[in-house]
Structure 1
Amino acid sequence: MREPKKYLAPALLATAALMLVGCAPTAGATSDGGTTEEDSKEPVNVSIIYSETGPLAAYGAAYKGGLEAGLDYVTEGSGEIDGREITIEYADDAGDADKAVSLAKDAIGSGTKIIAGTVASGIALALAEQAQQNKVLYISGAAAVDGVTGINDYTFRSGRQTYQDVATAGTFIGDPEGKKVLVFGQDTAFGQGNLAGVEAVLGAKGATVSSVLVPEDATEFTPFAQRILDEAPDLVFVAWAGATSGAMWQALEQQGVFDAAPVVTGLGDTATHEAYGAASDKISFLNHYFAGIPENDVNTAMVDYLEANDQKADLFSPDGFNAALMIAEAVKTGGDDVEKMVDALEGFTFDGPKGEITVRAEDHAMIQPMYQVKLVSKDGAWVPELIEEVDAETVAPPVVE
């Protein structure tokens, strides 16, 4: 394992830059034909490929806002790292993997060595392949697919992954050994994927995992709620998306499922907080982030920047912010050498909006805290409230060999 790197706070960056300038050679060709000081001050081009439009546009907007807040923070408003301007080029993949790959190839062809963004899991895997083939640095964003972790030497992530979500859900029942966990979801790739995730995470810890998967076109959910009760689980893990969510939660509430066992699901972005109806204060939520949780200077800086720009911190804002800090570290330490950028990020520990985060050297997993959350009624709206912070190591995924 390489020795972890600790992020230098913004106040120290100027001092570090002065020290580097003081030791730098004068402009002109070096004796070994290497980079001159003048060349080293050229802008660093970064391609951000994300969903500006498409089904995940809201996630893309939160990521972009966080990224811009992070760049402002880490450069103290200058937009420069060690005197080099960070030039960001945004490209909209519209949620389409083929389009994303085409955009990545265009960026790489023009000399770009750093690509980031990506809120869709399928796109993240496709761009990881491009990073490996072309030996460029790639930092995935909100995409949660576990397969990004450890996929190759050039691919990193700036957010959490599915394993951490599922492991956080498991903390609501303590030790999963001997417990019955039922996955309730749609019989789609999304629902089946969550079932596989629960089997891989909680099943591996000794839980007995079963499922009730509902046809995607179903509109009546009472019979399925009854099937949950018949199973008598210790935990119900709900994986649901789409227009039928309200009716589904209503059926679970009316049939008394919440009285039978803890019902856990992921708390989505702010726009979803009003979607749970009468079940809102009965659901146990696993959570990646909401603006009111972390109490630290970094989170305050991000929230303040976004509010000053008529935005609000949301679920995936930290993913963009973290990406900015990682890009800055890669450039500061690695210059234009991608191999050195990779080395700089492996084991990199820094303070992000969620607190201390470590990029695990062995497989580039983001080791970070997660949260147990509930919704409470406040001023006529449902707002998240912290139950408990889950320690980063408690939900850390196993190392990908």
Structure 2
Amino acid sequence: MSIKSPTIFQRKRLAISLSLLGAFLGSCVHASYAVAQDIKVALIAGKTGALEAYAKETETGFMMGLEYMTGGKMEINGKKIKVIIKDDQSKPDMGRTLLAEAYGDDKVDIAVGTTSSGSALAMLPVAEEYKKILIIEPAVADAITGDKWNRYIFRTSRNSMQDALAAASTIKAGGSIAFLAQDYAFGRDAVKAAKEALATAGSKAKVVHEEYAAQTSTDFTAPAQRIFDALKNKPEPRILQIVWAGPSPMNKLADLKPERFGINLAPGGNILPVMKLWKSYVGTQGTIYYYYDFPKNKMNDWLVAEHTKRFKAPPDFFTAGGFAAASAVYTALSKAQSTNTEKLITAMEGMEFDTPKGKMNFRKEDHQALQSMYHFKIKKDQKNEWDLLELVREIPANEIPVPVKNKR
């Protein structure tokens, strides 16, 4: 049986069919590639437990930051951004597990988190194992960018030493200081940093007592008495520095009348619902990472106006932190033009980026974001429930000489 050669018409029709099939298969591959190229970011936060309020603010700020940076498109370099949110309940083992899940199962390009310093420290080796970027926000323990650091870790949040150096810059004269702090990594790390910061700032004040209380403490009578006994006969000014995450014990300490012994309370900055309770302590001074009315820039103007419109309240301490992390993510991906980890590290080391506080930059040596802080005092004339603080002075980053401690 003879087989006839295809006619010219049949050959043309076959060629067209093959061409269409190729185009179809190519479009399928392109569509698959486009989906695979969506940028995935994991946001891990302690949304359950004592730090829940902080975590929720971080999430709000992060999503608003991406909205602002992308003009509402939620795209970077033409690729859609997908944010995967996970709750580690501020538990180190869960933080470690969820980050591994994000890198391994979810295939995220970058991760951001977390609220608790203990959980953040547990996550650091996971980033190194998977060779993926982890931006720390808002955990503050110095060890994160210190002896526990690795090259995949960047931090937008301030660290304990930045807090301490800012506070020390306001206490350069002599006097006596006691600390009340929570008895876990954050509190002990903060007091250690504060003592070092006083020496770095050249302060003549002397630390005469350190008091540590359980995170769940509600009765401060006994700790306060020990503090008062330690301070009452020491040189003035006598300052009780409060280092506390969550609901502050400041009011309870004030009820015990430290002024009887010439002792002044010095709170660290806190979230707005906590600081609202300080209205009776007009003139009391402290330092803070962010207060909505202090920074004067276009980004903060948008955040304050938009947050107030949506939530009937101004943005808070951790809202600004989440926003800063989003700005770092957007700036890094835009600069690197890639999700490749090595290209991101190259782009991020020394990178300057805008935040509601103004410009920050990732120091090349340890990837800590260098940034301004604020010296405040509690206002006398408060116009509304959120009109709480008066700016004494912005403390610029170049006056906060954070030491490099990662032994890179």
TM range (shorter): 0.7 to 0.9
Change (3 A) 1:344 1:93: same
- Write the distance in 2 (CA, Å) between the matches of 1:291 and 1:49: 24
Change (3 A) 1:155 1:37: farther
Indicate the SS of the match to 2:277: coil
Change (3 A) 1:43 1:392: same
Runs of 4+ in 1 over 6 A off after TM superposition: 35-38
How many correspondences in the alignment?
Answer: 363
| 1:265-302 per-position Cα deviation (integer Å, ceiling 9, x unaligned) | 21200011133364x21421111001111111010122
- Write the distance in 2 (CA, Å) between the matches of 1:380 and 1:305: 18
Change (3 A) 1:312 1:277: closer
- Write the distance in 2 (CA, Å) between the matches of 1:379 and 1:234: 31
1:329, distance to aligned residue in structure 2 (A) = 2.3
Task: Out of 66-75 and 326-335, give the one that drifted further.
Answer: 326-335
In structure 1, the partner of 2:304 is 303
In structure 1, the partner of 2:11 is none
- Write the distance in 2 (CA, Å) between the matches of 1:326 and 1:37: 29
- Write the distance in 2 (CA, Å) between the matches of 1:248 and 1:356: 37
Residue from 363, 368, 372 that aligns with 2:375: 372
- The answer to whether structure 1 residue 247 and structure 2 residue 269 are counterparts is no
Residue from 198, 201, 212 that aligns with 1:202: 198
> What one-letter code is carried by the residue in structure 1 that aligns with 2:169?
T
> What one-letter code is carried by the residue in structure 1 that aligns with 2:127?
A
Residue from 164, 170, 173 that aligns with 1:172: 170
1:186, distance to aligned residue in structure 2 (A) = 4.7
| 1:54-112 per-position Cα deviation (integer Å, ceiling 9, x unaligned) | 11111111111111111011111100011100100111111111111111111111222
| 1:25-70 per-position Cα deviation (integer Å, ceiling 9, x unaligned) | xxx99xxxxx989847721111111122211111111111111111
Indicate the SS of the match to 1:202: helix
In structure 2, the partner of 1:317 is 319
- The answer to whether structure 1 residue 65 and structure 2 residue 69 are counterparts is no
In structure 2, the partner of 1:81 is 76
Contact 1:249–1:277 (CA<8 Å) still a contact in 2? no
Contact 2:181–2:191 (CA<8 Å) still a contact in 1? no
Question: 1:371-390 maps to which residues of 2 (within 5 A)?
Answer: 371-376=374-379, 377-379=381-383, 381=385, 383-390=388-395
Task: Out of 302-311 and 117-126, give the one that drifted further.
Answer: 302-311
Contact 2:42–2:86 (CA<8 Å) still a contact in 1? yes
Residue from 375, 381, 393 that aligns with 2:398: 393
1:202, distance to aligned residue in structure 2 (A) = 1.3
- The answer to whether structure 1 residue 159 and structure 2 residue 154 are counterparts is no
Contact 2:141–2:189 (CA<8 Å) still a contact in 1? no
Indicate the SS of the match to 1:371: strand
| 1:188-233 per-position Cα deviation (integer Å, ceiling 9, x unaligned) | 3355433312222213445443214266554253563253221225
Contact 1:183–1:195 (CA<8 Å) still a contact in 2? no
> What one-letter code is carried by the residue in structure 2 that aligns with 1:255?
R
| Structure (1 or 2) with the larger CA radius of gyration | 2
> What one-letter code is carried by the residue in structure 2 that aligns with 1:343?
T
Percentage of identical aligned residues: 25
Unaligned residue ranges in structure 2 (runs of 5+)? 1-24
Indicate the SS of the match to 1:313: coil
RMSD: 2.8
- The alignment's TM-score, normalised by the length of structure 1, stands at 0.82
Contact 2:165–2:198 (CA<8 Å) still a contact in 1? yes
- Write the distance in 2 (CA, Å) between the matches of 1:275 and 1:188: 24
- Write the distance in 2 (CA, Å) between the matches of 1:343 and 1:236: 44
- Write the distance in 2 (CA, Å) between the matches of 1:386 and 1:243: 21
> What one-letter code is carried by the residue in structure 1 that aligns with 2:382?
K
Residue from 229, 240, 248 that aligns with 2:232: 229
1:344, distance to aligned residue in structure 2 (A) = 1.0
Unaligned residue ranges in structure 1 (runs of 5+)? 1-27, 30-34
In structure 2, the partner of 1:288 is 289
Change (3 A) 1:342 1:354: same
Task: Out of 314-323 and 375-384, give the one that drifted further.
Answer: 375-384
- Write the distance in 2 (CA, Å) between the matches of 1:319 and 1:186: 22
Indicate the SS of the match to 2:400: coil
1:256, distance to aligned residue in structure 2 (A) = 4.8
Indicate the SS of the match to 1:168: helix
In structure 2, the partner of 1:326 is 328
Task: Out of 230-239 and 69-78, give the one that drifted further.
Answer: 230-239
Contact 2:352–2:359 (CA<8 Å) still a contact in 1? yes
In structure 2, the partner of 1:13 is none
In structure 2, the partner of 1:6 is none
| 1:156-193 per-position Cα deviation (integer Å, ceiling 9, x unaligned) | 1111111111111111133x6xx344123157335543
Change (3 A) 1:197 1:235: farther
- Write the distance in 2 (CA, Å) between the matches of 1:155 and 1:36: 33
- Write the distance in 1 (CA, Å) between the matches of 2:371 and 2:325: 14
Contact 2:164–2:197 (CA<8 Å) still a contact in 1? yes
1:370, distance to aligned residue in structure 2 (A) = 0.4
In structure 2, the partner of 1:352 is 355
- Write the distance in 1 (CA, Å) between the matches of 2:384 and 2:305: 24
